[in-house]
Structure 1
């Protein structure tokens, strides 16, 4: 089993996980995804969240902010959506995406777990 597959399975073990993906933000394509298609279209989520990441990176460049994005959090009334760019050299241009059920998820633990998964991801 590839590291990508293991990472996706690890992401789905986060409490409240509805769907997860590893996305290439250069193309907007999900390299891998897991979750219920009834709950969430992960291909649409990958493409849409690619635009979020690109917009934030452009804004940071225009503001001359020389820091890395740890994660981007979008809160909905019933869900959390977490976007975590991969910072390692092997994963440059990728981000982890997790959609979580807000009633079952622990946001702090989810962010911590995504950081661990991101640090170990090799593509």
Structure 2
């Protein structure tokens, strides 16, 4: 599945407000969909790059031989899910912002995992 299709399918997740595919080496978004005045996805992509890098540095400092499955940031009205991609897409992550009142967090995590498996970059 290509980037555009992946982003469209992510926006079909209940409660989705916006989604981005981000390269955390550069902080650049390879694709965004959704967002709006209260959610600047380009800015969020750059900021979440720092979150992923910080967590990776922490894992390395602790000599943990493990990988990040996903990172959840819980806000009063939103969930922000960050899912680093594995394999050949190892410097990318999917970022999904959800309306907390209209989403099912467990189902959203499951759907992002499925989308990751089908993504071909």
Q: TM-score range by the shorter chain?
A: over 0.9
- Computed over aligned residues only, the root mean square deviation of the Cα atoms, in angstroms, reads 0.9
Q: Which residue of 1 aligns with 2:11?
A: 12
Q: Which residue of 1 aligns with 2:39?
A: 40
Are the aligned partners of 1:73 and 1:80 in contact in 2 as well (CA < 8 Å)?
yes
Q: TM-score, normalised by structure 2?
A: 0.97
Which segments of 5 or more consecutive residues in structure 2 lack a partner in the other structure? none
| Corresponding pairs, count | 121
Q: Which residue of 2 aligns with 1:52?
A: 51
Partners of 2:50 and 2:115 lie apart in 1 by 23
Q: TM-score, normalised by structure 1?
A: 0.96
Are the aligned partners of 1:14 and 1:113 in contact in 2 as well (CA < 8 Å)?
yes
Partners of 1:17 and 1:43 lie apart in 2 by 16
| Residue aligned with 2:63, SS | coil
Q: Which residue of 1 aligns with 2:76?
A: 77
Give 1:38 deviation, angstroms: 2.1
Q: After superposition, what is the alpha-carbon deviation per residue over 1:34-92, rounded to whole angstroms, capped at 9, x for unaligned?
A: 00322310010000000000000000000011111100000001000000000022x11
| Residue aligned with 1:68, SS | coil
Partners of 1:36 and 1:50 lie apart in 2 by 17
Which segments of 5 or more consecutive residues in structure 1 lack a partner in the other structure? none
